[in-house]
Structure 1
Amino acid sequence: MRLLVSLVCFIFIGTLSCGADRPNVLIIMADDLGWADLGFQGSKDILSPNLDRLATRSVRFTDGHVTASVCSPSRAGLMTGKYQQRFGHEANTPPADKGMDVEQVTMADSLRKQGYRTGVIGKWHLGDEEQYYPTGRGFDYFYGLREGSRSYFYNAKKDDKPNSNRRIEHNGQHVVFDGYLTDVLGDKAVEFLKDDSADPFFLFLSFTAPHGPMHATETDLAKFSHIENKKRRTYAAMIWAMDRAIGRVLDQLDSSGQADDTIVWFLSDNGGATNNGSINLPLAGHKGIKFEGGIRVPFLMRWTNRFANGRLFNPMVSSLDIFATSLAAAGGDVEAAKLDGVDLLPFLEGKRSESPHEELYWHKLWFSAMRDGPWKLIYVQGYGYALYNLDDDLAESKNLADAHPDRLNSMKNRMVTWKEGMQEPRWGEAEQWFKTHSKNHIRIIEGK
């Protein structure tokens, strides 16, 4: 057990690094979670006592963003610390023969070189074929599904058929599971943490909840019988189960003595979806579009040994920064990694006072966005641009494009230049998504 601090040090590329100096890293990711749908985010009907407990001891990033408003490209940005458009991972759900570019170095690759044992539990969604499999992308251990969603219960005739990419696997072997999948993923995470290795660990706990299909146990549903809307009731039960699983993981860290020296990140892969009963208010929009409800997410970091007390951090940060910050904490060379994310530690320690990012960019096929401090630019193909000041209008309800033409043009030119430096998308999406999301963007821009 890591309760006994190893006296053995390892030499990595001429640098002496001891296990006691390298914190564990745990990323917990929810799937399609609404901005307002946790207790610490102000929800009155969703219960999340374990995440609320985590939030009280965490740095809470109030302006924290993911790199895409849909699942797969968001995860590609997280895993590489780079804008996923740099390697063509722009659209959602890679086709059968595509996945996250194998030339990219992942966070797991880098931390394994620092002496970490690495694991991913849950949703992968970065390619189905063997060359994209987690154990070939820096992870020693994988328990989960290759695809993006599945039933929360074992189904041998559908998701768990031998040839299904939605089946649950353990390092390439199809496995049968009992019970509710969210609970199972939590149990597997606890097992991973119980390993008696003296090496630090990196675990990516990637829940499918509360992404559809909307499945919950009868016991969990009964707890929310007071919620009249059936979809919202099921959604609440799914988050309750996820929070319960997270609680078991946090309890294991506590009981093993690892909690204080484990960096725990929590975030969602994108905003709440239109089909799962989520609420993103007061943010505009939802999963799939470039308004804040699609890309601004609940975002926490706990590292008790370095930051003993919970607090708010209001400057703009990105999921890109998780790789850089974790690598820096592990003693790695962030500059050599050439990431788009930045090491947040100097900012959190007060050694740097500026914002970690003055600009952030988003783009997927037909829609783009850019932040320049509080200013936000949105582009819709075939329609044009909208401009907002989030300091004054977090709900993005007042389009200032006509009032600030110089600012609009300046940001537009920088956005175009940024996009020109990216790789062409390696796959696309069906035309229906352009039509659907174009209407959603325009509806919000025009206040309809």
Structure 2
Amino acid sequence: MLKKVGLVLVVMVFAAGILAYNNQIPLMLAALKYRSATEYPIGPERELVWNAGPEVAELPSSERSPNIVLIVADDLGYNDISTFGGGVGGSLQTPHIDQLAAQGAVFSQSYSGASTCAPSRAMMMTGRYPTRTGFAFTPMPGGMGSMVQRIGESLDRSLPPAYYDAELDASKPPYEQQGLPPEEVTIAEVLGDQGYATFHVGKWHLGRQNGMAPHEQGFDQSLLMASGLYLPEDDPDVVNAKLDFDPIDQFLWARMVYAASFNSGDEDRFRPSGYLTDYWTDESIKIIEANKNRPFFLYLAHWGPHTPLQATREDYEAVGDIQPHRARVYAGMVRAVDRSVGRVMAALEANGIADNTIVVFTSDNGGAGYIGLPEVNKPFRGWKITQFEGGLRVPMLVKWPAKIPAGTVSEVPVAHIDVMPTLAGAAGAALPEGVAIDGRNVIPLASSDEAAAAWDRDTLFWESGHYRVVRHKDWKLQVAARPDKQWLFNLAEDPTEQVNLAESRPEKLAELMALLDAHRANARPPLYPAAIEAAVAIDKTLAEPFEDGDEYIYSPN
């Protein structure tokens, strides 16, 4: 064993010397790939044993507290589902997500908590803004910031350069310890106290150690995404699409492996039993079947369709000849997420609990511009990482046959901070005492016209370092320091943010600036400050040439 460790160290030191001398990106990525393959052992596939409820229900499903299923996609664009007229640019139908929307409520002005994944997920779990929790940025695996900067510098993209603070990055805790503080109260803890069995399957991204892992934050059991490949890169059943124009993609292919863990944070890794989206769905169905006779909460947090782009060969063939190749692979990934939604709903029906189960479907943020597909957020401007509507607008679909009429559409703006109080309200659970909850229960909006008329929240906030946003009634203001600019839009007249009114409406600009300043006045500082700021084009994907005059924003993380 000592000889093996010594050999690894020699290879890594030798590689580091070569890198320092030549500064060659391919060698750097090769060394990173070697490290990923050797630092954690991955065991064989294993059969998971899920907690089970009684064999015979004490009460009929209709007389029990509702079961709750929260399904979250990752980086799913607004235009990726056919409910909103899209379906990967109109080339793909998403019938199961469409069915969920038709049978329940569609919140037509629904927003993510942030334009990147981890803060959004923290807001879904807590119902609190990052200004309260301090969880403001998405934690990056070790080496990602410096590697993304170096790869970006090696590409001819014409975008302004990224800024990376190596000293600040080194001062932060390890990636596994950058998470949601254990003292924060999650929806899993609230529902557990209400007698629910609680289960997490998939992505977490809110910490893996020091009391931050899912099974330490209120979930009875957790099947965790321990890395990020959907299948091994050379698996005969996978079709890959690598993005040579994207530094993040190059890092992910080098850093990610194919692994899961169960109730252990990021340790005790083992090989999943199939393509991640389908594997997690298989295990979610087992949870449903084992717990059909008692109230349960299932948080199914998909990785799809986030990069690295990997589709099953079956899905790739099924979506047809979509071009370019990366779009076809991406469409196959969306198809897999849609299939998952259909299989979960079918399992609820088969087990006789569909009528009294609340199913929520959303995405953690808008579609990413770095995948090079220009229509993923159509008709909205911007991408993930920006806070234009394309980065923030996400589906929010809620089905609960016992309470919500089919075909309901609510135009009241809602956001991910509303998920936690909504699920607590559905369960009849009290919100935690002494904890300021920023979100609200949105179920009444979907079940009562009177409730919608009486809704009195006018303002939503987003904040990412120097880049701050407020929506107040129909007005939206974005304020940035890099570049020093304000964007003011009247969303009622200009929902796709084309006409900047910051100069022509100074009184409205001042009104919304005051709201932003008040929101920040007593903010908790970020627990893990941003170590990198990268320029993101607002109206072009990363695959398109950036030209003088194109608008951009520096986004910190």
Fold shared by both chains (TM-score > 0.5): yes
Among candidates 23, 48, 58, match of residue 6 of structure 1: 58
* 2:222 is the counterpart of 1:170: no
* 2:252 is the counterpart of 1:152: no
Q: Which residue of 1 aligns with 2:458?
A: 358
Q: Which residue of 1 aligns with 2:356?
A: 261
Task: Single out whichever of 332-341 and 127-136 deviates more from structure 2.
Answer: 332-341
SS of the equivalent of 1:29 reads strand
CA drift of 1:438 comes to 8.8
Task: Single out whichever of 246-255 and 341-350 deviates more from structure 2.
Answer: 341-350
CA drift of 1:170 comes to 1.5
- How far apart are the structure 2 equivalents of 1:411 and 1:62? 23
- How far apart are the structure 2 equivalents of 1:165 and 1:426? 28
Quote the sequence identity (%): 31
CA drift of 1:318 comes to 1.1
Aligned-residue CA RMSD (Å):
2.9
Q: Deviations over 1:318-376 (max 9, x none)?
A: 11111111111211124845311111233332342134531000001121100001100
CA drift of 1:67 comes to 1.1
Task: Single out whichever of 81-90 and 368-377 deviates more from structure 2.
Answer: 81-90
Pairwise mapping of residues 170-189 of structure 1 onto structure 2 (< 5 A)?
170-172=262-264, 173-189=268-284
Q: Which residue of 1 aligns with 2:100?
A: 54
Pairwise mapping of residues 122-271 of structure 1 onto structure 2 (< 5 A)?
122-146=202-226, 150-154=228-232, 167-172=259-264, 173-196=268-291, 198-271=293-366
SS of the equivalent of 1:142 reads strand
- How far apart are the structure 2 equivalents of 1:230 and 1:439? 22
- How far apart are the structure 2 equivalents of 1:404 and 1:220? 50
Q: Which residue of 1 aligns with 2:91?
A: 45
Contact 1:264 1:303 in 2 (8 A): yes
SS of the equivalent of 2:199 reads strand
Q: Which residue of 2 aligns with 1:414?
A: 515
* 2:172 is the counterpart of 1:71: no
- How far apart are the structure 1 equivalents of 2:538 and 2:291? 52
Question: Quick check: which has more Rg, 1 or 2?
Answer: 2
Q: Alpha carbons of 1:82 and 1:424: their partners in 2 closer, same or farther (altered >3 Å)? A: same
- Judging by fraction of residues, say which structure has more helix: 2
Among candidates 35, 41, 45, match of residue 78 of structure 2: 35
4+ residue segments displaced more than 6 Å: 163-166, 437-442
Task: Single out whichever of 329-338 and 227-236 deviates more from structure 2.
Answer: 329-338
AA at the equivalent of 1:227: I
Q: Which residue of 1 aligns with 2:245?
A: none
- How far apart are the structure 2 equivalents of 1:75 and 1:134? 12
Task: Single out whichever of 393-402 and 269-278 deviates more from structure 2.
Answer: 269-278
The TM-score with structure 2 as length reference comes to 0.73
- How far apart are the structure 1 equivalents of 2:54 and 2:359? 17
CA drift of 1:166 comes to 7.2
* 2:127 is the counterpart of 1:81: yes
Among candidates 514, 525, 534, match of residue 424 of structure 1: 525
Q: Alpha carbons of 1:241 and 1:346: their partners in 2 closer, same or farther (altered >3 Å)? A: closer
Contact 1:3 1:257 in 2 (8 A): no
Contact 1:66 1:269 in 2 (8 A): yes
- How far apart are the structure 1 equivalents of 2:180 and 2:385? 20
Q: Alpha carbons of 1:159 and 1:62: their partners in 2 closer, same or farther (altered >3 Å)? A: closer
Contact 1:51 1:243 in 2 (8 A): yes
Task: Single out whichever of 266-275 and 343-352 deviates more from structure 2.
Answer: 343-352
Structure 1, unaligned runs of 5 or more: 9-17
SS of the equivalent of 1:77 reads helix
- How far apart are the structure 1 equivalents of 2:537 and 2:210? 32
SS of the equivalent of 1:400 reads coil
Q: Deviations over 1:21-76 (max 9, x none)?
A: 41111110000011111111112212211111111111000100111000111101
CA drift of 1:413 comes to 1.2
Contact 1:31 1:208 in 2 (8 A): yes
* 2:443 is the counterpart of 1:342: no
SS of the equivalent of 1:36 reads helix
- How far apart are the structure 2 equivalents of 1:183 and 1:396? 37
Contact 1:159 1:167 in 2 (8 A): no
SS of the equivalent of 1:215 reads strand
- How far apart are the structure 1 equivalents of 2:427 and 2:62? 9
* 2:506 is the counterpart of 1:405: yes
Contact 1:58 1:303 in 2 (8 A): yes
- How far apart are the structure 2 equivalents of 1:235 and 1:53? 21
Contact 2:537 2:550 in 1 (8 A): no
Contact 1:282 1:395 in 2 (8 A): yes
Task: Single out whichever of 170-179 and 396-405 deviates more from structure 2.
Answer: 170-179
AA at the equivalent of 1:187: D
